[in-house]
Structure 1
Amino acid sequence: MTEEQKKEFQEENEKKKEYLRLYRRAVRREKDILEEIQRLRLDKMFPSVVNDGMPHGSSQTDLSDYIAILDEQIELLKEERLEKARCYKRIEDRIRMMSNEDEQTVLRLRYIQGLKWEDVAAEMGYSWKQIHRIHSTALQNFKMT
């Protein structure tokens, strides 16, 4: 294999890894939105004390801004969950098309469940080195389209 072929091979593998990482990113975005919704709710339930030395007429505030922001976050959450489901289906369909079950399992554990390499090895009962060999072969056999 020439240096140019090696470089093309590595670039292709990186593209495949990026594609497979899309699902975990969607999971993180969903989690971030959920945390923001929780923070908004807690902030409204337990507003922090404003201690700036200035007199304030009332601690009551208009809820319309809060509700609008919360509604916006809930809509964003719905959209993100839909995108996450679509992303999962696309990736899972492509993994399922692969013929080797060990390769499928490595890709699912690593990219769908988000396990660390050591945990993938323990789950499958292989050495860390063997898992990387299976992963390398899996990337070669994985088709993005």
Structure 2
Amino acid sequence: MNKKEYLKQGYKLKQEIKSLEQTLEELESNLDNVKAIQYSKDKLEGGPLQDDTNIIEKIDKIIEVENLIKDRLLELKTFQANLILEILKLKNSNEKNLLQARYVMNLTWEEISKKLNYSVMHIHRIHKKALENFETL
């Protein structure tokens, strides 16, 4: 794995988390169709009890996806913490700021350009130099 691929791991984890969150939303919306038994003072309404295996399976899947999201979030936070420590080892403050903006905050080149007050072309030059100076743990 080269330096750029290593640095992009956080972005990939964020994308995976976003996808899992969308899956979770979809699974939760499927539970909206569940019919409840209605009680009244005089009688029980709703007919014969239905098999709840399908509902239990859906709830189990939701819990599984929620746990996956928690695991990925922990993995992302750990990666970002280690990455920040590695970035802080750089001597040049522009290189530090650029790598943090790009690989921790996931800003676009244009956003970084505005933040650091340099042209996008110059940001790419700083990035190239930062990659040369960057050392992983």
Could you state the TM-score of these two structures normalised by the residue count of structure 1?
0.77
| 1:43 corresponds to 2:34 | no
Q: In the alignment, does 2:134 pair up with 1:134?
A: no
Structure 2 distance, partners of 1:61, 1:73, is 24
Does residue 97 (structure 1) correspond to residue 89 (structure 2)? The answer is: yes
Where does residue 3 of structure 1 map in the other structure?
none
Which structure has the greater CA radius of gyration? 2
Counting only pairs closer than 5 Å after superposition, residues 33-112 of structure 1 correspond to structure 2 as: 33-46=20-33, 62=52, 63-112=55-104
Where does structure 2 lack aligned partners over 5 or more consecutive residues? 35-47
- Cα distance in structure 1, aligned partners of 2:51 and 2:4: 48
CA distance, structure 2, for counterparts of residue 71 and residue 85 of structure 1: 21
Percent sequence identity over aligned pairs: 29
Separation (CA, whole Å) in 1 of partners of 2:51 and 2:107: 45
Bigger RCO (CA 8 Å, 6+ sep): 1
2:126 & 2:18 partners in 1: Cα distance?
30
| Bigger fraction of residues in helix | 1
How far apart, CA to CA, are the structure 1 residues paired with 2:16 and 2:33? 25
What do residues 51-76 of structure 1 show as CA deviations (whole Å, max 9, x unaligned)? Answer: xxxxxxx9x66221111111111111
One-letter code aligned to 1:32: S
Q: Does 1:123 align with 2:115?
A: yes
What is the root-mean-square deviation of aligned Cα atoms in Å? 2.0
Q: Which segments of 5 or more consecutive residues in structure 1 lack a partner in the other structure? A: 1-13, 48-57
Residue matched to 1:50:
none
- The aligned residue for residue 13 of structure 2 is 26
